[in-house]
Structure 1
């Protein structure tokens, strides 16, 4: 079967046709990579805050739907959990969107403000190493991974310049930097103390928070503590919802996957790329088979079985899949880097995604070959000659 590379010889004979086929497959590969990449970047960025909070169990309002639409619940419910066996400490977390004024061009943009007690930090030191500045009045930490529309805050701070601006009409000072990253819901982030947060959001009622972060004692059984918290906090009233960290992440992820059109759009785009590639490869293979129909009929007359002739077409499909996938992978990697630098979204080329798109490319080409191969089966030497 492989003594004579018939499939490769047929493909390279028409070099223009081969280049057109590879361009079409490469386009389909790039389209699938882009759609899957943006979809994963959407989910990863949406849950970046959730994953980086150091907590074992989380409390939220049952009316909350996502990070961009959080509802408040009474703070006393969080402190009530301290009476549950296995709970070591709790931290109130405040979230809100405020209007940030770019200090260089004076344009405004919405930014996510994260407030918590400086004495009870919720992030590890890889995210933010120094919380001392936010103890000062009207002082915030700026996310250096925010979109550039907020201004060159990181560069100005690194140059040891005093950065002051307006935040929802209140004058604030940037006291430090951290790195969390933008998301589809928030283009930028700020960290400040709970006291500063309540100053910024004067309309917020005292004693109302957005998320309750609970840490467990070393060795405590999380599932058992989770059940005890549910029994203690949810039986009497329905004003709080108890979630594990995985449940808290899934709470956000499911919103973007099922409650918005974004997840569907990206999946549809990848499906369109698959269909487009299938059609292109089918047209190339069908044309190639039709052009060499006499040769296939001659091989049949010489005694070659349909299985051999079918294998030639499938070899052509596999060769096209490999040759079209490699440039598509390289070009998509460059587009990922360009997109990440332009949008600050966490879009990277992963092994899992590259293998998935490769498998889809092979399936796409094999499906096209399976459709085109019927032309070879119909080749009858008596009809041809």
Structure 2
């Protein structure tokens, strides 16, 4: 079968056709890489905040659906958890979207404004493991001081660069959030997402000053840390049995999910894994974004299949007489079919390589333009490579029907 590289010799004979085929396959590879990359960036950016909270059990309102749609609940429910054995500490988190005014805007007279996610926390609770947060969290004890996310979109202004350029004695960077003057006291890194273009962290007192209309006894997320060695499932069961209010579970949840995600009264109790899963499921199932990206990847797959089929079908049609001659010489259909499949595999590998290289650059361009965490991963590369091989194999399977029609009598 491989003594004479017939498949490769046929492909390289028509160099223009080969280049067109590789361009079409490369386009399909790029489309699949981009769509799957955007989808992964969506899910990863959505849970960056959740992953970087150091907590074991989380309390939220049953009406909360995601980080961008949080509903408040009474803070006393968080304090009630201190009565359970194994609870080490509790920390409230406040979530709100405020209007940020770009302090370095040099456009029209009206300053540029943009919505930004504001996170309030109690100074000293030390519950975030975000890069740069712990080094600067002492600044949150000061009035009207915020920490700015260095991975926010550029539309908020060159805050990270300006902050790093400050010298002792320089005036701090000052701007407005919700029409209240604040100063940037430090930089941390979390990253933009499809729900929030930028992020701020401030103290609980400063948060209330910025959002003065909010009731003081309401919080958005309750974080509970357990003593080392405490059984998480046993603690969750105690919460289920002893928190005031009626216990209920979504009937659509599996028994395993119900152990880590349930509602008692006016509060939803989740383990950290369930807290992350709720956010991911919101973007996967409750929005059209995940479906759109999956559909885009499927379209790339179909487009590539059609392109490869056209190339292989044309190649087979051009060499039909040669295939008939091989049959007359005693070669069986199995050998001739293998030649077509070899062409499909060669095209898939040769088309994948330039598409992969170009996508690395496109990922970098997208990451710089949108601040989304989109990078080339080994798992995604393997998935797209397998899809490319499958795409070309399907095309080959359709095109081989023409080979079966090759009749030695056709050449006489």
- Report the TM-score, using the length of structure 1 for normalisation: 0.98
Mapped to 2, the partners of 1:37 and 1:230 lie a distance apart of: 39
* Aligned positions of 1:174-323 closer than 5 A: 174-233=184-243, 235-236=245-246, 238-323=265-350
Deviation at 1:121, TM superposition (A): 2.0
Deviation at 1:124, TM superposition (A): 2.3
Deviation at 1:130, TM superposition (A): 2.1
Find out whether 1:377 has 2:404 as its counterpart: yes
Any idea what SS the aligned residue of 2:243 has? helix
On the 8 A contact 1:42/1:183 being kept in 2, the answer is: yes
Give structure 2 stretches of 5+ with no counterpart: 106-110, 247-263
Deviation track 1:254-281 (CA, whole Å, cap 9, x = no partner) reads: 1111111100100000000000000000
Indicate the larger mover: 74-83 or 235-244: 235-244
Q: 1:363 aligns with which of 359, 384, 390?
A: 390
Deviation at 1:235, TM superposition (A): 4.3
Deviation at 1:47, TM superposition (A): 0.6
Deviation track 1:320-376 (CA, whole Å, cap 9, x = no partner) reads: 000000000000110000000111100000000000000000000000000000100
Any idea what SS the aligned residue of 1:63 has? coil
* Aligned positions of 1:1-385 closer than 5 A: 1-105=1-105, 106-124=111-129, 126-128=131-133, 129-160=135-166, 161=170, 162-233=172-243, 235-236=245-246, 238-385=265-412
4+ runs deviating over 3 angstroms: 234-237
On the 8 A contact 1:93/1:115 being kept in 2, the answer is: yes
Give structure 1 stretches of 5+ with no counterpart: none
Indicate the larger mover: 55-64 or 229-238: 229-238
On the 8 A contact 2:7/2:340 being kept in 1, the answer is: yes
Any idea what SS the aligned residue of 2:44 has? helix
Deviation track 1:210-251 (CA, whole Å, cap 9, x = no partner) reads: 000011110011111122122223644520001111111111
Any idea what SS the aligned residue of 1:131 has? helix
Mapped to 2, the partners of 1:231 and 1:299 lie a distance apart of: 78
On the 8 A contact 2:124/2:138 being kept in 1, the answer is: no
Deviation track 1:294-321 (CA, whole Å, cap 9, x = no partner) reads: 0000000100011100000000000000
Query: CA, structure 1 residues 196+312, in 2 after alignment: closer, same or farther (shift >3 Å)?
Result: same
Deviation at 1:4, TM superposition (A): 0.4
How large is the Cα RMSD of the aligned pairs?
1.0
Q: How many residues align?
A: 385
Deviation at 1:189, TM superposition (A): 0.5
